[in-house]
């Protein structure tokens, strides 16, 4: 029985679209018809707004890219389809780390299918720009970063490619905080939202370091999309970008090679830690049998070995399914897979707040606004920045 699958997502950049095309191909090969429901905007805030109005109007798509604690909120609304039959037939419980599987379940039943693991605490660099500026190695600490950035500035190039949108500001800030305070502080401040951590001197130091970065961005940064920031590295105009590994999807789509054209490393100060961001899809309750069959086939495909490989090779992420062959993946992906495992054992694996993994969407939104206001307004003192983030964290 064939049906139509309409899938909401925000994967519209070059690398993202390449990855999404793999899913479309997979579904069409099974006889289903694909209806793309793409809402542009990195990080997905625009997509979520559009999705809400469709669901409220009683006209949900078949599937949507929803992740982290938002999965629980949607399930609690009673609008999500139960995926247990597919999960059982495909043995998901034995193919996923338990912590991942738990996040995909609501009251013990699967309501979401995971596709990947993105690492967020990365720094990317253009090798030829580093060479031109006389920077010999990737910065491992924030002091090394600022020393390298000064050299790039002197060479007349952009030290840090940034896109000034609130979610990108928060993406950079969480990596700075992780590097400054370490994984335990990150967990206390940005996951547990502990008021003592949120008003500590380490929080102030994180904001000070974050603010210092701004002088190394270019005047055109405000409003710029993240993939256009990556393009500055691809075009040899900028040295560094601090961004999750969907940026690698852009390098790959442009034919650039890691180790040769660009370098990847854990963001300064965070070598032994890992901020994770898991992409996943939920299915909405639909009536027609054809649509339900298409949803079951989509869920099975998302977790299948073929899709987990081809999709993640383009997306810049690593497979979430255990036991996958990594031989076709590049060195950045291999490093990610190693660090995901070792940080999990060491207790330094933490959920990314800027990508919907750590706290409820309402709190994330409030913190995102506070951090972004601090970034954009130099008149806000560090002490006031600390206060407004703590206040945002107390959002109900
Ligand atoms: C993240 C998402 C990634 C990537 C990025 C930029 O939130 O998890 O898959 O697409 O946004 O759009």
Closest residue CA from atom 11 of ligand 1:
43
Q: How far apart are CA 227 and CA 236, in angstroms?
A: 14
Residue 114: other Cβ atoms inside 10 A:
26
User: Does the CA dihedral 167-168-173-178 come out positive or negative?
Assistant: positive
- 94-109 mean pLDDT: 96
pLDDT at 162: 98
Res. 1: pLDDT tops 80: no
Closest residue CA from atom 10 of ligand 1:
11
pLDDT at 125: 99
The chain-wide mean pLDDT, for the chain, equals: 97
pLDDT at 31: 94
Res. 231: pLDDT tops 80: yes
Best mutation site among 8, 20, 41, 279 for ligand 1, i.e. most ligand atoms within 8 A of its Cβ? 279
Please report the atom of ligand 1 found closest to the CA of residue 11. 10
DSSP string, 5-26: EEEEE---SHHHHHHHHHHHHH
Block residue for tokens 């003192």:
381
Residue 201: other Cβ atoms inside 10 A:
9
Q: Which of 37, 3, 8 is nearest to 295 (CA)?
A: 3
Ligand 1 centroid–CA 141 distance in Å is 26
Question: What is the per-residue pLDDT across 180-211, written as a single tens digit (0 to 9) for each?
Answer: 999 999 999 999 999 999 999 999 999 999 99
Ligand 1 centroid–CA 44 distance in Å is 7
Res. 396: pLDDT tops 90: no
Q: Which of 119, 240, 233, 259 is nearest to 178 (CA)?
A: 119
pLDDT at 165: 97
Q: Which of 63, 64, 110, 116 is nearest to 87 (CA)?
A: 110
Six-digit token pair at 395?
A: 């959002």
Ligand 1 centroid–CA 278 distance in Å is 9
Closest residue CA from atom 7 of ligand 1:
43
Ligand 1 centroid–CA 11 distance in Å is 7
pLDDT at 2: 84
Q: How far apart are CA 387 and CA 263, in angstroms?
A: 36
pLDDT at 269: 98
Question: What is the per-residue pLDDT across 60-93, written as a single tens digit (0 to 9) for each?
Answer: 999 999 999 999 999 999 999 999 999 999 999 9
User: Does the CA dihedral 246-250-252-256 come out positive or negative?
Assistant: negative
- 126-153 mean pLDDT: 98
Ligand 1 centroid–CA 227 distance in Å is 11
Res. 250: pLDDT tops 90: yes
Closest residue CA from atom 4 of ligand 1:
246
Please report the atom of ligand 1 found closest to the CA of residue 42. 12
Residues 298, 35 contacting (CB under 8 angstroms): no
Closest residue CA from atom 1 of ligand 1:
43
Kindly report the pTM of this predicted structure. 0.97
Walk me through the domains of the chain, giving residue ranges and CATH numbers: 4-118+277-339 (3.40.190.10), 122-275+353-393 (3.40.190.10)
Res. 271: pLDDT tops 90: yes
Closest residue CA from atom 8 of ligand 1:
279
Ligand 1 centroid–CA 42 distance in Å is 6
Ligand 1 centroid–CA 133 distance in Å is 31
Ligand 1 centroid–CA 78 distance in Å is 26
pLDDT at 199: 98
Ligand 1: lining residues by beta carbon, under 6 Å: 10-11, 16, 42-44, 118, 246, 277, 279, 355
Give 3 or 119, the one with higher predicted confidence.
119
Best mutation site among 243, 277, 318, 336 for ligand 1, i.e. most ligand atoms within 8 A of its Cβ? 277
What is the chain's percent helix, strand, coil content, to nearest 5?
55, 15, 30
pLDDT at 370: 98
pLDDT at 235: 98
Ligand 1 centroid–CA 96 distance in Å is 21
């Amino acid at each position: 029985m064939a049906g139509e699958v309409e899938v909401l997502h925000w994967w519209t950049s070059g690398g993202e679209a390449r990855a999404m095309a793999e899913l479309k191909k997979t579904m069409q090969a099974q006889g289903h018809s694909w209806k793309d429901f793409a809402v542009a905007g990195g990080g997905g805030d625009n997509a979520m707004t559009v999705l809400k109005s469709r669901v409220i109007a009683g006209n949900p798509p078949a599937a949507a890219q929803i992740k982290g604690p938002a999965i629980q909120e949607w399930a609690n609304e009673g609008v999500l389809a139960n995926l247990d039959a597919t999960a059982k037939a495909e043995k998901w419980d034995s193919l996923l780390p338990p912590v991942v599987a738990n996040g995909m379940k609501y009251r013990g039943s699967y309501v979401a299918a995971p596709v990947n693991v993105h690492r967020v605490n990365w720094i990317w660099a253009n090798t030829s720009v580093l060479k031109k500026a006389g920077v010999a190695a990737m910065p491992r600490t924030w002091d090394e970063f600022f020393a390298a950035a000064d050299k790039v500035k002197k060479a007349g190039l952009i030290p840090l490619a940034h896109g000034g949108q609130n979610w990108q500001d928060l993406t950079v800030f969480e990596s700075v905080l992780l590097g400054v305070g370490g994984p335990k502080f990150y967990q206390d401040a940005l996951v547990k939202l502990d008021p003592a951590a949120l008003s500590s001197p380490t929080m102030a130091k994180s904001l000070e370091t974050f603010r210092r970065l701004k002088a190394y961005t270019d005047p055109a940064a405000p409003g710029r999309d993240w993939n256009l920031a990556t393009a500055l590295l691809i075009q040899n105009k900028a040295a560094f970008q601090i961004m999750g590994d969907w940026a690698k999807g852009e390098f790959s789509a442009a034919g650039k090679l890691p180790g040769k054209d660009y370098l990847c490393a854990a963001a300064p100060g965070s070598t032994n830690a890992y901020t994770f961001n898991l992409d996943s899809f939920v299915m909405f309750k639909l009536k027609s049998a054809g649509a339900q069959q298409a949803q079951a086939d989509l869920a099975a495909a998302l977790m299948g070995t073929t899709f987990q490989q081809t999709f993640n090779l383009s997306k810049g992420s690593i497979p979430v399914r255990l036991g996958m062959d990594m031989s076709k993946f590049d060195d950045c992906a291999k490093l990610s897979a190693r660090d995901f495992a070792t940080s999990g054992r060491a207790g330094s694996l933490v959920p990314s707040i800027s990508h919907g993994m750590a706290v409820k969407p309402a709190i994330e939104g409030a913190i995102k606004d506070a951090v972004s206001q601090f970034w954009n307004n130099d008149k806000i003192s560090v002490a006031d920045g600390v206060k407004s983030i703590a206040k945002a964290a107390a959002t109900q």
